[in-house]
Structure 1
Amino acid sequence: MDESPSAYYVHCFAHQLQLSLVAVAKENRDCVLFFQQLANLLNVLGMSCKKIRMLRVAQAEWIIKALELEEIETGKGMNQEMGLSRPGDTRWGSHHKTIMHILRMYPSIRLVLNKLVRDPTQSNEAMLAETMLTYFESFDFVFMAHLLQTIFGHTNDLSRALQKKDQDIVNAVELIHLTKIRLQLLRDDGGWETFLEEVTSYCVKHKVKVPQMGGKYKPPGRPSRFYKNLTNLHRFHVEMFLGLIDRQLRELGDRFDEVNTELLDYMGSFSPVNSFAAYDKENLVKLAHLYPLDFTEEDLMHIPYQLTHFITD
């Protein structure tokens, strides 16, 4: 910056994406509650080898039953044993994996929690398991788990792509634009109806009570005075669904702002990949204008001609 006052700094894209996910999860009240309950669940089920074994047995029994009812298919690599590893704060792909496993192991987890609640030898853990079960069996938990799985699913593809060592600038910028578009479509283009139908279908399958969207909202295991005169539709659609997606879009917009993405778009025009397929003379002229201390007015007049000679050569 001392040598070139017009220098630009672009932070690591993969790290910026992690920061945007962290900001949403730690500043959205519903996300904070969900991850607190997720930590409690992992504490209840992962405190001893006995509980881990109980979960494995329950999952194996569920798979056998589901296969008999033809609810799941057999095949190479399918129905393998899953665990509930604790997600890491700096690796948000691990949160996506943990949520996916919980949704897939939902019947087995609920069975184990019910057994712990009825176990007379585990009074302290039984109380914790009962508290956890109240939230785990609620529509709120299933709804938020599906919502985060959807958002993490869109951003996880981007995160994995940005961490590839051979990722070029053009692709990286395009992937960021694509992720924003996918989230915006989820928000506006009939995404709510499709999402609610998916969650409702899951709840019906696993015998979770689905509230009437026009009815009054009742929070599971929490004081209702904070949600007076609030309908289920407003709570789940506006506060949770739209609120979380809007916050994620805002964070992505702030972290990957127009200056950064435009700058990299222009820089991408230098890419020699596929015989300079991304070459764009106009973008490179615009790039030169971003460095007024390095190019005189006369230089800027000559650059279009020099660029023509360059690509021809």
Structure 2
Amino acid sequence: MRGQGYDGASNMQGEFNGLQALFHQECPYAYYVHCFAHRLQLTLNAAAKGVHDIWEFFSTLNLIVNFVDSSAKRHSVLRAIREEEIADLVAAGALQTGRGANQTCTLQRAGATRWGSHLRSISSLIKLFGATKTTLADLVGNGPNKALQKKAIDILNALNFLSITKSKLQDIREDGWDDLIMKVESFCCEHDIIMPDMSAPYKKATRACEQGITNEHYYRVNILNAVIDFQLAELDSRFTDNSLELLVLSATFDPRDNFRSFKSEDVCNFALKFYPQDFTSYDMLALDMECGFFVTDIHRDPRFAKTTSVSDLCRRLVESRKSSFFPMIYRLICLVLTLPVSTATTERAFSSMNIIKSKL
């Protein structure tokens, strides 16, 4: 075994008595990777709870979703209102028609175990905002109201997405305010929501540091920038473990930009440091010799022209039978591919077994 991956509970990733440590005692080169999906989920959950205004927003959102979905009658009312809304928009030419278009949907709940659910929850409310508003208003006036988780991605692309995400967040922090406020103004205008004057003093100040600031300053600095800073801090703190060194070193096989990252010295040091039992001294000499020919040969072969990932490179080495010409490099690439990015799909499979293993 050369790669092990699961979530970050202390009994799993503990340095001395955790499952990964016990495996490591038996297999010194079975490197542990804390599931990227779990780390992203923990990051987003922390960001959604760490800033009070954002926590209040998601709490309100969950209250709305729970209230509407907890009753089949309320759910039917929402669905009927949304169908009427779609029909009116189609008649007015505001929506295009076609096969599978304009399907009715329902509000989505933000879950604690799937990081994409927060986006789906917000998106569903935006899409159904008019119908939801009408439903709640109808219930207030006419009825009793007593209670108001890519399956396939390789290590290098995962690290690249992480870097891009941090860069995009920083771009939003520095230059994204104007675009955001324009979208908010458009949304408020569409749904008859009174938007506060951004140049007016912020009237809900509860702390001395908030006295005398404008609405724009509060929403931009105290909410938007605070959320982004919290998110960036969480990403930095949750993606600093020792396994990242192994993952970063594996970037030497990144085929993008004509194998710009490929260096013979890095390849040999990678094998020597992390997989010494898989490469004898003779194998290391062969690996060094193969590195001298590998990139030149790949550049001349048009079958590798559009290779974009390590898994794709491995597949094409087999298809072109070059794996037999570069056996040491092929072996090292296979070892890199044993390192897991995420174990979320596996855990969902185990969760589904609970449905099968029931009395039903």
State the TM-score, normalized to the length of structure 1: 0.72
Give the 3 Å change call, closer, same or farther, for CA 62–218 of structure 1 in structure 2: farther
CA shift, 1:272, in A, is 9.0
CA shift, 1:8, in A, is 6.0
1:185 aligned to which of 144, 163, 171 = 171
Report Cα offsets for 1:62-119 as digits up to 9, x if no partner.
1111122222222222210101243321012222212111100111100111111112
Aligned to 2:144: 122
- Kept in 1, the 8 Å contact 2:78–2:132? The answer is yes
- Kept in 1, the 8 Å contact 2:139–2:145? The answer is no
Which 5+ residue runs of structure 2 have no aligned equivalent? 1-23, 294-325, 327-360
In structure 2, C-alpha distance between the alignment counterparts of 1:42 and 1:33, rounded to whole Å:
14
Report Cα offsets for 1:192-215 as digits up to 9, x if no partner.
111111111111111111111111
Give the 3 Å change call, closer, same or farther, for CA 198–286 of structure 1 in structure 2: farther
Answer yes or no: is 1:254 the counterpart of 2:234.
Answer: no
Answer yes or no: is 1:23 the counterpart of 2:35.
Answer: no
> Structure 1: which amino acid aligns with 2:176?
G
Report Cα offsets for 1:223-262 as digits up to 9, x if no partner.
x645654421122100111111111111112222385444
Q: Which has the higher helix share?
A: 1
Secondary structure of 1:10's match?
A: strand
Answer yes or no: is 1:13 the counterpart of 2:36.
Answer: yes
In structure 2, C-alpha distance between the alignment counterparts of 1:187 and 1:282, rounded to whole Å:
39
Aligned to 1:264: 247
Which structure 2 residues correspond to residues 102-251 of structure 1 after superposition, within 5 A?
Answer: 102-119=125-142, 121-125=143-147, 128=148, 161=150, 164-165=151-152, 167-188=153-174, 190-218=175-203, 225=206, 228-251=211-234
In structure 2, C-alpha distance between the alignment counterparts of 1:287 and 1:309, rounded to whole Å:
15
In structure 1, C-alpha distance between the alignment counterparts of 2:183 and 2:85, rounded to whole Å:
21
Larger radius of gyration: 2
> Structure 1: which amino acid aligns with 2:144?
Q
What is the CA RMSD across the aligned residues, in angstroms? 3.4
> Structure 1: which amino acid aligns with 2:172?
L
Secondary structure of 1:211's match?
A: coil
CA shift, 1:287, in A, is 4.0
CA shift, 1:216, in A, is 2.4
Number of residue pairs the alignment of both structures matches: 264
> Structure 1: which amino acid aligns with 2:189?
V
In structure 1, C-alpha distance between the alignment counterparts of 2:263 and 2:228, rounded to whole Å:
34
In structure 1, C-alpha distance between the alignment counterparts of 2:221 and 2:125, rounded to whole Å:
25
Query: Which of structures 1 and 2 has the larger relative contact order (alpha carbons within 8 angstroms, sep 6+)?
Result: 2
Secondary structure of 2:249's match?
A: helix
Percent of aligned pairs sharing the same letter:
34
- Kept in 2, the 8 Å contact 1:20–1:251? The answer is yes
Which 5+ residue runs of structure 1 have no aligned equivalent? 129-159
CA shift, 1:308, in A, is 3.1
Aligned to 2:306: none
Aligned to 2:110: 87
- Kept in 1, the 8 Å contact 2:254–2:262? The answer is yes
Give the 3 Å change call, closer, same or farther, for CA 60–242 of structure 1 in structure 2: same
